[in-house]
Structure 1
Amino acid sequence: MYGEKTRCGYYGTPGYTAPQVLSEEDYDAGADWWSFGVILYEMATGKLPFSPKGTLEQQAETIINGEPEYPDSLSATLRDLIEQLLKKEADQRLGVNGNIRHHPFFSTLKWKRVKKRKLESPIIPKPAKGLIKKVISFPKENPSETRMLKRFNYVDPSWLE
């Protein structure tokens, strides 16, 4: 959702859902920036910023009215980024209010390389031997029976600015 577009109704996974969605208010792209903040918090700490315990109503109440606890292990820059993404008021969230690419956390990221898909991951995990064969099994398909989307790719128009 971009520009002035909004939507209403409940969509999403409870622990990742923005307060506006849980309150059944109209919402816009700010709800997506909230979810991104939750994901960053979870990646950095290994847990959700708001307790997933209790009923769905209790979880919603915690998200709407509670504040996450930030461990001391987070860098000040990462904490600031997450705090800006988890602002209760959607119009105050980074991404809606300010360009996330300008946040100091991303100061070393080469956005033009991201756009061109030329940026290599700083971490490339090596799977344990035999793990791929155990986890992934590919069905035997005749390629002529599968539909292929040639040259399918998508880049958000706002990234082209």
Structure 2
Amino acid sequence: MSTNSHDSHSGNSKISKSDLWLIIACAAIIIFAYFDLSKTTVTYSNAERDVAERIQKVGAVQFRDAAKAARPGEDVYKAQCSACHASGAAGAPKFGDVAAWAPRIKNTFESLVNSALKGKGAMSAQAGGEFSDLEIARAVAYMASQAGGKFKEPEAPAPAAEEKK
């Protein structure tokens, strides 16, 4: 009896070149298939989005701010302008003071509105606040008219036809 335990397995254990190339080719195909398929798999978030796109309704509801009617100049004056113009705070011409308003009224209405919208002196810009530019212009016309000016409150523009989507 032999003391070497490997004697019973003494067969040829060499792999032929063709078998080696076959193993390498199979491994390459498996690796290529794994990486190629992993690129094309759909993730859960993509699948969810795709399903949502396929079953979306034909129409959609859009929420917008309701069109508000432009407030008259007197209301805007009371809400915004009277804080300074009622008392003449920070050099503001007092409401109804003909002498204080006279040099300003000599300017065009557009220049008065521009001063109100962009700010002048201690008065901060009124554009972009709670009131629209049209409402600020109406307040300017109201204040100037109460001090002897002959400015008419601007009318609201005609509503534009909304684009079809």
> Do these two structures clear the TM 0.5 threshold for a shared fold by scoring above it?
no
* Higher helix proportion (structure 1 or 2): 2
Task: Work out which of the two has the higher radius of gyration on C-alpha atoms and give 1 or 2.
Answer: 2
Q: Of the two structures, which has the highest relative contact order with CA contacts closer than 8 Å and spacing of 6 or more?
A: 2
Q: Tell me the TM-score normalized by structure 2.
A: 0.25
TM-score of the superposed pair, with normalisation by structure 1: 0.25
